[in-house]
Structure 1
């Protein structure tokens, strides 16, 4: 299991592959970031239990409510009693268990969404869950025992958020992808121009490492280069 450390926290990569999920520990306080797809529940739950032992999973932060990040949210809340944090713009989607699919950012993905999006939308519904905390522009996680905060980084979706840990590492959901070598540009985003502005917002946090919802970690130099290219 891959891990990263900051001044006050340890970050565990719980799921990898199609969708990433991360668990943050600070002095035996734990928060989960995203939950992956429902077919990953067994792996997700086993790894969380392995780390938690007898400690409590106090929070679940959803970087956004697309199916591949939120399908296990209801199960996490039911099993662990975790407080769920979503952006206020997407809280209703989680309650409905259905979040609109994002638009394509290139010819291929744009064609896919336009041609098939409406027809397959119902396939990506999931078990609804009730969020507890509605984030606006920023939410401090001190009450959960972390030197961390959640910030609004829209563009991929209107309620996309990132988690800033000790101003060292950011968990960024689909604000960027770590799949395409020297590019961080996602194949899907509702508002690419706003997404690029969110990159600058993340650069200004002074974090040196960015952990995306898909693919590998992204360093600060690559993100800055991509921002300069696309701004």
Structure 2
């Protein structure tokens, strides 16, 4: 008889972007949405039976405002340390963003619409943990690791869990109809993004959560590499 593994990942929809709560003895938050997302995230934490001060860690998959906007507020509200890739620590500290590099026609159009991205010093938060190698989550009662998966940005991170759940940030996107897995519309290195999508698939995930849209199965994700 096979014992069903209880999912650890709780998606937190925040409009066009997703954050994620990973259940553990001390839960881990992955990404924080735009500025103003703190109440929704704290509500999701409470709904799962956790107090704000029980949050063990805030993981930032990459330093773009739609993922970092509420990091400072949440770190202040919970006392949880913030983790980011070393390559993007200074962006996070200063309230600036990692480069937004169009990789598709849609990306180029959106980049023109976005315009100049000025730093937001009031949103800056100093990351306590800065990594450039896998970071195990055992200390939080979670069997899994945060792993570097550059491509979308130089310091992009993903989370790989023993349950078969994976959080890929913006390495994969599902934002635009039809809602299928796609390569990122913004990427500092598209070839490297493809390599790291393959690396995630080689870990045999059952479900892949993404920063926009999703989630996707491994076969759905495999299709974007063809």
Q: TM-score, with normalisation over the residues of structure 2?
A: 0.89
Structure 1 unaligned regions, length at least 5: 1-5
Q: 1:194 to 1:49 in 2, by over 3 A?
A: same
Tell whether the 8 Å contact from 1:67 to 1:126 is kept in structure 2 after alignment: no
Q: Deviations over 1:115-167 (max 9, x none)?
A: 466x4211766511011111112111112221010111110000000001115
Correspondence for 1:100:
98
Could you list the runs of 5+ residues in structure 2 that have no partner in the other structure?
A: none
Structure 2 match to 1:145? 141
**Number of aligned residues:** 220
Residue 173 (structure 1) aligns with? 169
- The question of 1:132 aligning with 2:132 is answered no
Higher helix fraction (1 or 2): 1
Kept in 2, the 8 Å contact 1:17–1:215? The answer is no
Find the aligned partners of 1:82 and 1:8 in 2 and give their Cα distance: 25
SS in 1 for 2:194: helix
Q: Are residues 1:31 and 2:28 paired?
A: yes
Q: Distance in 2 between matches of 1:200 and 1:125?
A: 36
CA RMSD, Structure 1 to Structure 2 (Å): 2.1
* CA deviation profile, 1:71-128 (whole Å, cap 9, x unmatched): 1111111111102110111011111111134111122422543x466x4211766511
Q: Which runs of 4+ in 1 moved over 4 A?
A: 123-126
More strand by share: 1
**TM-score normalized by the length of structure 1:** 0.87
**SS of 2:48's equivalent?**
helix
